[in-house]
Structure 1
């Protein structure tokens, strides 16, 4: 389908103005890691803390997105790439709205994460690598997905039958087998505070 007749409509209210009334700087906190690594748990805890601080946030989570926006997508490599592309575009809109958006997705492929990074300004994308050993994730297995994947019931499962390309230079690197959730949250909040995201 051609986009030649589609033109971006400029708004009269800018991203900076939207963020200013919220007394914050908008950004994407992009949580990536294996299934069971703790992405959603930590992202939820960070959002609770930011909410307590009076910040304007929204959490995008893998399962929730697949129940709505991306309900028609499966788990082939092509569909997983499209899943992340759509999430990236939605995250970009939240940034434009002046929000701090927390996106928690396995997002296993480096190239796709980099595409999302390039959708916004350099300072607006913060990659948070939730680095948890595969054996720890398997021992947690909160949804029983690893057991199903090992039986061949789930094809293209990251860490079992599909690769995970770990970030080499994530802005925030957290090893959840070494520290508690509360400590992880503090690391992220301090990063945001030190770099001025939580003030106008």
Structure 2
């Protein structure tokens, strides 16, 4: 940590922002395999929440890697740093009083736990977007599984790199059993929006 850096308290608190917006800020941490439906559900939920007057924002894994995290690869250390940075950004959104949806594979339980510890109890909800590797391979909208199996993508989660499913997620969205709309409605009900 750099020396001579002192935290400066903000003049407007998170609690004041929440009170003014009439909502509780929270991180919805969507985790699951590529093609499980994380980004699709996060964006559909964000649209519905926005339509209901909520301050909501989606941080998407691919989009973040076009900017903030474009210097990172997909080896284990880079993945950890990717999630660390996103955790810090998500924490800023929570402080701003938003519902922030983070759609990242985030393959390691420990990395997700590190993010949970950044915010207060109840401000991090792990949302496991559950779908088997086999189903994700069939969906494969970006053709990534095919490339990974051909050896063109090293360290691909679920094929040549591990994915650690959550042990006790707050919410499970089973995209093999339920439609995107049904998953969104489950989230709306869980968050009482």
Q: TM-score, normalization: structure 1?
A: 0.95
Question: How large is the RMSD of aligned CA atoms in angstroms?
Answer: 0.7
Please list every run of at least 4 consecutive aligned residues from structure 1 whose deviation after the TM superposition is greater than 2 angstroms: none
Deviation for aligned residue 1:3: 2.4
Show the 5 A alignment for 1:171-190. 171-190=170-189
Is the partner of 1:112 in helix, strand or coil? helix
Deviations 1:62-113 (A, max 9, x none): 1100000001111111001100000000000000000100000000000000
Distance 1:148 1:6 in 2: 45
Distance 2:19 2:150 in 1: 52
Distance 1:26 1:7 in 2: 26
Match of 2:65 in 1: 66
Is the partner of 1:3 in helix, strand or coil? coil
Match of 1:3 in 2: 2
Number of aligned residues:
193
Deviation for aligned residue 1:6: 1.0
Match of 1:51 in 2: 50
5+ residue gaps, structure 1, are: none
Show the 5 A alignment for 1:128-139. 128-139=127-138
Is the partner of 2:122 in helix, strand or coil? helix
Distance 2:178 2:144 in 1: 24
Deviation for aligned residue 1:17: 0.5
Match of 1:161 in 2: 160
Distance 1:20 1:158 in 2: 40
Deviations 1:127-169 (A, max 9, x none): 1000101100000001000011001111100000000000010
Q: TM-score, normalization: structure 2?
A: 0.98
Distance 1:107 1:159 in 2: 12
Match of 2:39 in 1: 40
Match of 1:97 in 2: 96
Deviation for aligned residue 1:122: 1.3
